[in-house]
Structure 1
Amino acid sequence: MADAAVLSVRNVSKSFGERRALAGVSLQVARGEMIALIGPSGSGKSTLLRSISGLQAIDPGEGVIEAFGETVQARGKISDKVRQVRARIGFIFQQFNLVGRLTLFTNVVLGALGRLPGWRGVLGLWPADTRAQAMAALARVGVADYAAQRAGTLSGGQQQRAAIARALVQRAEVVLADEPVASLDPVSARRVMETLSELNRDDGLTVVVTLHQVDYALRYCRRVVALKAGLVVYDGPPSGLDRDRLVDIYGPEFEDVFWEGAPQ
């Protein structure tokens, strides 16, 4: 049950030169939610996620982003405590962000670096309990059998599930997933979304995921936030996104690619 706010975005704007990616966006995320961010390319979805995690600074002004009650950034300046906050946030990238020459196990156990001395990571001297946590996380997402293989030899879906396992080893309380299935085949994409959904449902993990696949947003997320030209144009349950609303968000071309079985 979502019972406490973990992320707060208030009046946030972000510009890249003359282009405004976010225009006064506000968003509250409660503990235990699974939220899909949808919208056309360039609508500001990835920019919002990167701003929440402090990977990029927002524009000066009134904008404030908080996580777990701590300031991530405000008025264009990233907080000097952002590393402590970011340690509680797992970020899943579209291109997995794994080191291809390292084993899947090593990539996953690196999630523990934030709470262990750096020399252990350099020498590969991981405590027994940390190694056990890494293997348990790999098993949880269904890729434990590939722990000894180099990450670069595995499929995109396997690598993405390992990236989720790394967030589990990190002990992340919130996962921000930026287009995690965009480069995957449909079967792998579904497995990744089912993994995120299971962790949200069974472990209470808070998940915010950006998606181009609107059908996945409607199927797996209980709340959908749509962005268009840097503005929030919809925030509510999937049931509120009928055909007309989606066409309004994406434009008339959406009719040409509307999937079979979509809401009418």
Structure 2
Amino acid sequence: MTAAAASAVASVRGVSKTFGARKALDGVSLEVAQGEMVALIGPSGSGKSTLLRSITGLQPIDAGGTIAVFGETVQKDGRVTGAVRRSRARLGMIFQQFNLVGRLSLFSNVMLGALGRIPGWQGALGLWPGADKKKAMAALHRVGVADYAAQRANTLSGGQQQRGAIARAIVQGAQAILADEPVASLDPVSARKVMELLVELNKRDGLGVIVTLHQVDYAIRYCERVVALKAGKVVYDGPATGLDTRTLVDIYGPEFEDAFWETKQ
């Protein structure tokens, strides 16, 4: 394995995933280096979320392909390996529906990012180390929601919850961020704030970021590299500036403008 492959956030080689008669992924290969911010785009059902879930090991792949995270093979020939647990500790996952515990305070949700560093019983009792508490408050300040630290998560707006999820990944000490449609449930103002935070983690902290997006305009605005999937295959992998009209028609069809979110608001 080359040094570049060993340090890559994800190395995907010949990966397919079949659900019944449908191939959600069909021989996908790509590599995302640490420090890159990559958008995964494509029509609904193109395989974006399946690919992201496969990288984390949440979705087993078909035999014949391999996936490595930071140089460790996490899936091979249809089997999830023992390295997947270590890889998940290094990956911060951001989901469309926030994945916060609604009855807990925002602060408690962010503290869950520290669970991998302390015994489970200690976390269950809320006996958090002082250093982690300080880290959590610093993360909440950084994402702009420290004033809501004591508030129950299910009373917060979608944008506030998503920023809390990003703070949780910061406390986790994630070395890369995988975000699955993180702005799909948000209004444009909140969506832009979340995307700006992901860009900051990429540029300031040097984290690799892979984000699936339905909004092509956001992919172009915030990500230098775009990977487009269609019917489970990679049909474009290159700079965001290369997404001209002809390429977008190839990806989305003649109604490609429907994928530009803010022009429809």
The aligned residue for residue 11 of structure 2 is 8
| Among 106, 114, 129, the residue aligned to 2:108 | 106
Q: TM-score, normalised on structure 2?
A: 0.95
TM-score, normalisation: structure 1 = 0.95
The aligned residue for residue 44 of structure 1 is 47
The answer to whether the aligner puts 1:143 opposite 2:145 as a matched pair is yes
Deviations along 1:57-88, whole A, 9 cap, x unmatched?
00112x00001111111000000221111100
The 3-state SS of whatever aligns with 1:244 is helix
Is 1:55 aligned to residue 63 of structure 2? no
Q: What's the secondary structure of 1:203's corresponding residue? A: coil
Which amino acid in structure 1 is aligned with residue 107 of structure 2? F
Counterpart in 1 of 2:168?
166
2:228 and 2:71 mapped to 1: Cα distance? 25
Runs of 4 or more above 3 Å deviation: 255-261
Whichever residue aligns with residue 147 of structure 1, its letter is A
Structure 1 contact 108–134 (Cα < 8 Å) conserved: yes
Matched, 1:181 2:183: yes
Residue matched to 1:196: 198
The answer to whether the Cα contact below 8 Å between 1:9 and 1:65 also exists between their aligned partners in 2 is yes
Structure 1: gaps spanning 5 or more residues: none
Q: Of the candidates 12, 26, 29, which is equivalent to residue 29 of structure 2?
A: 26
Offset, 1:256: 5.8
Whether contact under 8 Å (1:247, 1:255) holds in the other structure is no
Using the TM superposition, give the Cα deviation of residue 6 of structure 1 relative to its aligned residue in structure 2, in angstroms.
2.5
Structure 2 counterpart SS, 1:57? coil
Instruction: Report Cα offsets for 1:13-56 as digits up to 9, x if no partner.
Output: 00111110000000101110000000000000000000000001
Q: Which residue of 2 aligns with 1:247?
A: 249
In 1, are the aligned partners of 2:215 and 2:260 still within 8 Å (CA)? no
Match of 1:35?
38
Provide the aligned length of Structure 1 versus Structure 2.
Answer: 258
Q: Does 1:83 align with 2:121?
A: no
Report the aligned-residue RMSD.
1.3
8 Å contact from structure 2 (residues 107, 137) kept in 1: yes
User: In the TM superposition, what whole-angstrom CA distance separates every residue of 1:178-200 from its partner, at most 9, and x where no partner exists?
Assistant: 00000100000000000101111
Find the aligned partners of 1:29 and 1:257 in 2 and give their Cα distance: 24
Deviation at 1:247, TM superposition (A): 1.2
Distance in 1 of aligned mates of 2:224 and 2:26: 25
Residue ranges of structure 2 left out of the alignment (5+ in a row): none
The offset of 1:258, in angstroms, is 5.2
Structure 1 pair 250–149 and aligned structure 2 pair: CA distance change class (3 A): same
Once residues 165 and 260 of structure 2 are traced to their aligned partners in structure 1, the CA distance between those partners, rounded to angstroms, is 30
AA matched with 1:38: I
Q: Following the alignment from structure 1 to structure 2, what is the Cα–Cα distance between the partners of residues 110 and 260?
A: 34
